[in-house]
Structure 1
Amino acid sequence: MLPLCKMDTEAADSLLFKDHNFSSDLLRQLNNLRQDRILTDVSICTDTQEVPCHRNVLACSSPYFRAMFCSNFRESRETKVQLKGIDSKTLDQIVWYVYTGEANITSQNVLPLMEAASMLQYPKLFEACSSYLQSQLTPINCLTMIRLSEIFACETLKKKARKVALMYFPEVAASADLKELCAVELKDYLGDDGLCGEEEKVFEAFMTWIKHDLQARKQYMQELFKQVRLQYIHPAFFQHFIASDALLQSSPSCQTILETAKRQMFSLYGTSSALDLHPQWQVPPRNSYQDFLVLLGGRKDNQQTTREVLLYNRQANQWQSLAKLPTRLYKAAAVTLHRSVYVLGGMTMGTGKSMISHDVYIFSLKHNRWSLGQPMLVARYSHRSTVHKNFIFSIGGTGEGQEVLGSMDRYDSICNIWESMANMPVAVLHPAVAVKDQRLYLFGGEDIMQNPVRLIQVYHIVRNTWFKMETRMIKNVCAPAVVLGERIVIVGGYTRRILAYDPQSNKFIKCADMKDRRMHHGAAVLGNKLYVTGGRKLTTDCSIEDSASFDCYDPETDTWTSQGQLPHKLFDHACLTLQCIPPTFSFQ
């Protein structure tokens, strides 16, 4: 037999034995001795109870008892130690935990047990109580939990309770606890960027709190009113429920805020620079607001016009289906206004005779539901629509007699009425349309003979007047336009070319071309980038193909990247950006 090496010999000469049950068995025996009052040398006392214990066990269990029994405190020499502020049931729980490592936490004992664990320095028991409270969190009790977390200096509970309070604001706002907050607490809560609530609900919560104890709380009205971000409130709600509120009108400082808001909301004039804005008006939307890309209608897979509505989830890189359009609409126009989608006109494509529509359908992403709006003055399709302030402009298109319309109507979303505006200089179909600096721009399009029109037609919104400019740079048909930064970008239109127009200098800047010659596509801005969806493309042999492409243009790098494919081929559809709080309904 070969001799063992030294390492093997050492390994063979020793054995590390571990009895994993020894510690728990020892603690169990100590607890039996305690219960039989054997070798106990100190009693922990409340007003009504004495619990015999072993000093060494208590001293080993927490820094609190170690300091008490291992220092020169008088308790180290006494046989009875009084613990103030702890009731007898809680003391039993604490001693049981010391000797067994177990604690039965319930809704009845969690608070006194947590307080005792904090005082006697049992951090794991303290965190177990915190975890229990976190498991019991609801929108109804989260504000109370925040207060408790501050009393106990428990950051984990505070963080979780705060998250619930911010995420479920509508339910929290309806709770009785909100009315009991102090002014500082309410200001901190309503002013949080992470609050998941529409500003109308924030205003209502603020007013409910004030009116709960009007005489005592009226002094805080101005500071709390500033937490409502008025620029993101629906103007109709502002006009009917805020601007004329008697309580706000009674405060000169609140009146000043209201007047500033009125000027910003209801004036047709835009803001020329950030310097013109009141500081309160520069506050960004809350973090809970997100931009969504929405596609609706159009021709799907070269078949009939679809009613489908799709939402793009950037985080999951997925398309999700929303409630379908109420009817099939061929070449309708669509815009977003006040966190809703408006679909205007189009040709109805039912089983019977097709008809040109003057109907307006409104979609709420929050409720995933369509409703019927105020109809347009003129039925039209193949028209263009755009938004400025509280107004929707419906421009040109084809009328009921198949004539090319030069008319333009304007919808006032506050008064819920349509009115006729000045006609455009030259009636065109399928121009690129955008609004910038109080002016509405129509680029190109085609005349009744389907010839490209090399014009820029400009409408001065405040003056209700048009003028036109001829340019050789324009030759787009069936192309969208978007505002990207300080420029208007015209995206394709029987061409690969991307042109950025600077209204200040009246000059065009050529951007990186698209991969294909494209028309009848959609385009929208999301996160300072341009997204282009679907359309039809001209191949090298001049044939036309439908597309399911989904591309992104980054103006900082002047480059295009593919975002994958749409769920199906699509053209003549609407492509919109909708800013709102993420919906809570389940997508189908």
Structure 2
Amino acid sequence: MEEDEVPNSHAMDGTVGKKFSVEACNILWELRKSGQLCDAIIKVENREFPIHRNIMSACSQYFRTLFTNELFDTNTREVVIPGVSAEIMSLIIDFAYTRDAAVTAENIERLLPAADQFHVMGLVKLCCDFLISELTPENCIGIRRFARTYFCHNLERAAFRYLMLNIADVLTFSNEYLQLDIDEICDILSSDELNVRNEELVFDAVLRWIDYDHDTRKEYIARLLKTIRLGLLTTQYFVEKVKVHPYIKDNDSCKPVIIETLKFLYDLDMDEDKELDLNNPLAKPRVPHEILFVIGGWSGGSPTNLVETYDTRADRWIICDAVDTGPRAYHGTSTVNHIIYVIGGFDGVEYFNSVRSFNPMTKEWKEVAPMNAKRCYVSTTVLGDRIYAMGGYDGQMRQNTVERFLPTKNQWSFVSPMNHRRSDASATTLNDKVYICGGFNGHECLSTAEEYDPNTNQWTLLEPMRNRRSGIGVIAYKEEIYALGGFNGITRMNTGEKYCPKSKRWKTIPEMFNPRSNFAIEVIDEMVFAIGGFNGVTTIFNVECYDASTDEWYDATDMNLNRSALSACVVKELPSVQDYIHKER
């Protein structure tokens, strides 16, 4: 039985708070300890456990059947239970009375099988929840196999999701990966859910598995090649690394796959305008574990309510059909627990203090508590479970006030104000601090930057940026604060710089392809994305990304709509991800 499929007659296992009060548990526990009203003794090894038959029956179908069977002599007080240790039986009995047990890494491998054997499904669930909390790249494969053995389907799914999400770390740190058989390897590497930035990682994973026992395993290379989306590799990588690899080049069974892939890649190279055929099995993208949402903005002389999502694996933008009732621009967007919050902004007439929430699972928009102040050109970021809204323009003056929102209480409250009034700034969080940079104070574009420590409720000025930047994009990336683009009072810029909190210094980074201000910025797939904005002449839909590992900018696919004053956020591990990705895959 699955660990969360508790029969109605045993509903107490899953609803402790509703059906089984703490006070009742304590009374029953004390009665057992003192031996009062006990009507049976469970004997295991050399230990005796006085128990109440009705309590044991309530938590386990096994004990219920044992104690209500017509063949059971109700006058018999002693019941001998073989095949289990006294230590584990003690924990099972503890659970029957308290609906809790001391589950540890040392006893879990004995406790879960015993809980399963005696049909103590609440304890099975407790063990599974413990194992889910203990998942690591080193043990997730073993826990998944363990879950399969005992038909714990929720645990098996959780371990597989963890494996898919953290596959890069699994391939680096897990010895369990090297022990898998060919069927298990193919099952993992061929999955659409595999979280890999590129297919080179999958090829490396194949080689690592074969190299562990190459004499036995190299015969599987043709089968393993089919788990790789070879059409998503670059032609250069395929020709120089894959085609000529010793396991492949003289293997006749690999030749059909190699020929088919070469033809696919060369056809693509010959026609630069040709779109990648995502329906071809060679180029079918994996499913992303993060979705980038872009909301609202200014386009064609008016604000918009358009929502687009970006599928990183397919490099495609998708127009979302779930749009809010009204448009807004110069707003902030943040996400907490899969819910997106759209904060402040401007619709061409009104300056907003209103906040709207969007649930990507239900596609519902709702009004939540408004901010205390109207904030257009607002800067927002998330620290922990709270959203911070900083500065902005209320239609009369630039502000230095800061407030934060706790979604669980649906409440905004003020914290310490910044040292500088600023609108058109941008903010991010790193190492439990909030950072805000640049902006406009009503008179000049700013180069100032400051950090907020929620533990002391204080703002501290940092070394100023090397450039004045209003309409800036700021994001935490690789343990540094990146400040990109913006308006310096004369021109829109394509320059960028980064701040190191350790050295407390700013350093220039390579220039973007496009000058831009009032654009969206986010980190996804371990790259910084600069999205849309205003280039000094017109709003743009161009998107580019920066990879610190190569220290280079790359073009990404353009949005469907050219717009500035837009805002973006990333939602991770979205259950309804299929609604927001490119359908042709």
| Aligned match of 2:100 | none
* Equivalent of 1:416 in 406, 410, 413: 410
1:429 and 1:526 map into 2 onto residues whose CA distance is 26
1:438 and 1:518 map into 2 onto residues whose CA distance is 29
Deviation at 1:286, TM superposition (A): 10
Going from structure 1 to structure 2, the CA distance change for 1:385 and 1:459 (only over 3 Å counts) comes to: same
**Please, which runs of 5 or more residues in structure 2 have no aligned partner?**
3-59, 63-113, 136-192, 196-286, 488-492
* Equivalent of 1:224 in 93, 114, 128: 128
1:292 and 1:312 map into 2 onto residues whose CA distance is 6
| Aligned match of 2:268 | none
Asked if residue 399 in structure 1 is aligned to residue 303 in structure 2, the reply is no
> 1:89-139: CA deviations, max 9, x gaps?
xxxxxxxxxxxxxxxxxxxxxxxxxxxxxxxxxxxxxxxxxxxxxxxxxx9
Paired residues of 1:290 and 1:582 also in contact (CA < 8 A): no
**What is the one-letter code of the residue matched to 1:498?**
G
2:548 and 2:131 map into 1 onto residues whose CA distance is 35
**What is the one-letter code of the residue matched to 1:460?**
D
* Equivalent of 2:530 in 529, 532, 535: 532
**What is the one-letter code of the residue matched to 2:398?**
V
Deviation at 1:362, TM superposition (A): 0.7
**What is the one-letter code of the residue matched to 2:346?**
M
Alignment map for 1:173-188 (pairs within 5 Å): none
Q: TM-score, normalised by structure 1?
A: 0.50
**What is the one-letter code of the residue matched to 1:510?**
T
Alignment map for 1:59-458 (pairs within 5 Å): 216-220=120-124, 222-229=126-133, 290-300=289-299, 302-322=300-320, 323-349=322-348, 354-400=349-395, 402-449=396-443, 451-458=444-451
| Aligned match of 1:565 | 558
| Aligned match of 1:518 | 516
Give secondary structure in 1 for the equivalent of 2:499: strand
Alignment map for 1:568-587 (pairs within 5 Å): 568-579=561-572, 580-585=574-579
Give secondary structure in 1 for the equivalent of 2:439: coil
Deviation at 1:564, TM superposition (A): 2.8
Deviation at 1:407, TM superposition (A): 0.7
2:401 and 2:332 map into 1 onto residues whose CA distance is 15
**Please, which runs of 5 or more residues in structure 1 have no aligned partner?**
1-138, 140-178, 182-209, 232-284, 539-543
> 1:190-217: CA deviations, max 9, x gaps?
xxxxxxxxxxxxxxxxxxxx99999834
Deviation at 1:391, TM superposition (A): 0.4
Deviation at 1:413, TM superposition (A): 1.9
> 1:127-163: CA deviations, max 9, x gaps?
xxxxxxxxxxxx9xxxxxxxxxxxxxxxxxxxxxxxx
Alignment: residue pair count: 319
**What is the one-letter code of the residue matched to 1:505?**
S
2:465 and 2:308 map into 1 onto residues whose CA distance is 37
**What is the one-letter code of the residue matched to 2:422?**
V
**What is the one-letter code of the residue matched to 1:339?**
H
Q: TM-score, normalised by structure 2?
A: 0.50
Deviation at 1:327, TM superposition (A): 0.9
Deviation at 1:585, TM superposition (A): 4.6
**What is the one-letter code of the residue matched to 2:340?**
V
**What is the one-letter code of the residue matched to 1:330?**
A
Deviation at 1:416, TM superposition (A): 2.1
Going from structure 1 to structure 2, the CA distance change for 1:337 and 1:472 (only over 3 Å counts) comes to: closer
Asked if residue 482 in structure 1 is aligned to residue 386 in structure 2, the reply is no
Paired residues of 1:444 and 1:456 also in contact (CA < 8 A): yes
- Computed over aligned residues only, the root mean square deviation of the Cα atoms, in angstroms, reads 3.2
1:214 and 1:345 map into 2 onto residues whose CA distance is 57
| Aligned match of 1:556 | 549
1:212 and 1:461 map into 2 onto residues whose CA distance is 46
2:518 and 2:496 map into 1 onto residues whose CA distance is 15
1:368 and 1:214 map into 2 onto residues whose CA distance is 43
2:518 and 2:465 map into 1 onto residues whose CA distance is 22
Give secondary structure in 2 for the equivalent of 1:330: coil
Q: Which has the larger radius of gyration?
A: 1
Going from structure 1 to structure 2, the CA distance change for 1:572 and 1:229 (only over 3 Å counts) comes to: farther
Give secondary structure in 1 for the equivalent of 2:127: helix
Deviation at 1:317, TM superposition (A): 2.8
| Aligned match of 2:503 | 505
Deviation at 1:414, TM superposition (A): 2.4
**What is the one-letter code of the residue matched to 2:331?**
A
Going from structure 1 to structure 2, the CA distance change for 1:506 and 1:361 (only over 3 Å counts) comes to: same
Paired residues of 1:366 and 1:584 also in contact (CA < 8 A): no
> 1:393-446: CA deviations, max 9, x gaps?
11111125x111111111112222111111111111112311112221111212
Going from structure 1 to structure 2, the CA distance change for 1:221 and 1:472 (only over 3 Å counts) comes to: closer
1:378 and 1:493 map into 2 onto residues whose CA distance is 25
1:517 and 1:525 map into 2 onto residues whose CA distance is 19
**What is the one-letter code of the residue matched to 2:452?**
Y
| Aligned match of 1:545 | 538
2:194 and 2:134 map into 1 onto residues whose CA distance is 12
> 1:518-557: CA deviations, max 9, x gaps?
211111111101111111114xxxxx23212111111100
> 1:266-307: CA deviations, max 9, x gaps?
xxxxxxxxxxxxxxxxxxx9968711111110112x331111
2:61 and 2:354 map into 1 onto residues whose CA distance is 48
Give secondary structure in 2 for the equivalent of 1:292: strand
Paired residues of 2:293 and 2:309 also in contact (CA < 8 A): yes
| Aligned match of 1:243 | none
1:497 and 1:567 map into 2 onto residues whose CA distance is 25
Paired residues of 1:479 and 1:519 also in contact (CA < 8 A): yes
Asked if residue 467 in structure 1 is aligned to residue 460 in structure 2, the reply is yes
* Equivalent of 1:492 in 468, 471, 485: 485
Give secondary structure in 2 for the equivalent of 1:224: helix
2:399 and 2:118 map into 1 onto residues whose CA distance is 57
Going from structure 1 to structure 2, the CA distance change for 1:329 and 1:581 (only over 3 Å counts) comes to: same
